[in-house]
Structure 1
């Protein structure tokens, strides 16, 4: 399904998931859809492997966790984060590296200070590789970092697509 993108979320320089200057990071971009979901686009590399030609399960958990935790920004602002309280990941298929992958995440329940969300990692052909559900504490970026980080290392990348297509074989290519 093709998702219309309303904006691209901020990234940082050193984060393992989104950091543009982290040599071993995933360099993920996070885009907000018109339906208030987040689509993460990333390409794991050979140094993210566990078994030969397979991305480590911890990387899979990290990208699902980050995408779900960032979905709260669709409803608040780019300085409102989800700090993980609980994460349950279901691994369904091996996740290859050196190919572009997409994760779709959303908020399923917002109870003020705590919120819940879910997400799915899709292979390029639309096969569901992993899914997760999590519980998060809503936190302002200012609560766990300093103004220097916010002013110098927290920025919006210039690449914002108008739309992103996410294949979804298991749900008839429906929008998730």
Structure 2
């Protein structure tokens, strides 16, 4: 897999809860490209629990929404906003797991609407949560002009996200 380069890292005012490394309250996700999918390996932490040693469902939704948005960013080279998210919680997620794996796949593109499936697995490889997210995307010209977005690339080297 190749690590996706965050195009917002040097943008003034950037403080995304999902992917900004300097947001002290955030989840600080990294993303990788694996064929048609975008992948993230994330370490659960106790401050994100709902019940004792259980990852809060809202945080699970944040993680999946974020990875789905990055699938749009990387695969379609544009961005947008979430218009709907249908989430199914299948199995509770322990904050004691050493890592969780998330994957997002674009399922459909119709004009400026993009449907993305996001999935979250625990350390044992059990599917715990899945969502179907719909995004309203902006034109490439609009994100270029208004957000100074010039593209979303990957690093050259292959990496193992578990060792990053």
> How high is the TM-score relative to the length of structure 1?
0.74
Matches of 1:19 and 1:156 in 2, distance apart? Answer: 17
Determine whether 1:138 maps to 2:137: yes
CA contact (8 A) 2:5 2:155 kept: no
Distance 1:137 1:159, change over 3 A: same
For residue 95 of structure 2, what is the aligned residue in structure 1? 97
CA contact (8 A) 1:93 1:129 kept: yes
What value does the CA root-mean-square deviation take over the aligned residues?
A: 3.0
1:43 Cα offset (Å): 1.3
For residue 75 of structure 1, what is the aligned residue in structure 2? 75
Query: 3-state SS of the aligned residue for 2:76?
Result: coil
Determine whether 1:40 maps to 2:37: no
- Structure 2 stretches lacking a partner, 5+ long: none
Distance 1:126 1:7, change over 3 A: same
For residue 4 of structure 2, what is the aligned residue in structure 1? 8
Moved beyond 6 Å, runs of 4+ = 155-160
Aligned length: 154
Distance 1:57 1:143, change over 3 A: farther
For residue 19 of structure 2, what is the aligned residue in structure 1? 18
1:122 Cα offset (Å): 0.4
For residue 169 of structure 1, what is the aligned residue in structure 2? none
- Structure 1 stretches lacking a partner, 5+ long: 166-176
Matches of 2:20 and 2:112 in 1, distance apart? Answer: 27
